Amino acid sequence: MGTGRTLNKKPRTRPVKSEGERRRRQKVQKARLAKKMGVEVAKIAKLEPLVVRETLKRPAKIVKAAAG
């Protein structure tokens, strides 16, 4: 008895995002903000994950705001 086509379809075989991986990605993103862009760690701790991702998309804008 085989597994059949049901379990070979793409949505069924995709990996599931894990909580640990999400936390690891957020930690890496916050570290990039602190090291590469010079944002204070206290400010980063207050930011929501969505805001952190948005700021990483436009690094020149962040560096310009920090300088001015």
Residue-wise pLDDT tens digits, 18-53: 999 999 999 999 999 999 888 889 999 999 999 999
User: Taking 80 as the threshold, does the pLDDT of residue 13 lie above it?
Assistant: no
The predicted structure's pLDDT at residue 66: 66
Q: How many helices (H) and strands (E) does the chain have?
A: 5, 0
Rounded distance, CA 35 to CA 40, Å? 9
pTM: 0.68
The predicted structure's pLDDT at residue 45: 92
The predicted structure's pLDDT at residue 68: 59
Residues in the chain: 68
Q: Which residue ranges make up each domain of the chain? A: 20-67
In the chain, what's the furthest Cα-to-Cα distance?
68
